[in-house]
Structure 1
Amino acid sequence: MTIATPIALPQPAAPPSDRYLRLPQVLAMIGISTRTLYRKMDDGTFPRQRALGDNSVAWLESEVVAWMRSRPVAK
């Protein structure tokens, strides 16, 4: 299994755009596994993806960034 390298968040002064992010982009941003991501969605602790077509889904960048900013700071 390949773990993606996390990428930097957009600057707090600039609101995130509402562009669509595909699964590899979301995983790179949040640094968790696919299984953990879907478990969090099932638990209601991560935003659900949006249907783009019959076989295509994506997440809104603003929702992913808001989730990231809501995470507690590690001790």
Structure 2
Amino acid sequence: MEFELYPWRLSWAEVDPARHPFDSASAAQVVRSLGPARRVPRRPDVPVADPAMSAWSRQSGRVWADAMSCALA
């Protein structure tokens, strides 16, 4: 999936806090209920500077982060 989330491209109707109030009491539960939250990829057990970490970040990590961002939006 190729997806770029740019907050400045969202319309006011999509972000209006009067129409989409933030409920801090239920926020964690809502986030955990999203599909990507149930499939968090496991980071490789290597140092940050290891090329395997860079590869994981560009592949599995980014795919998951994009999916989670899309679900949250």
> What TM-score do the two structures reach when normalised by structure 2?
0.28
**Higher radius of gyration, 1 or 2:** 2
| Greater share of strand | 1
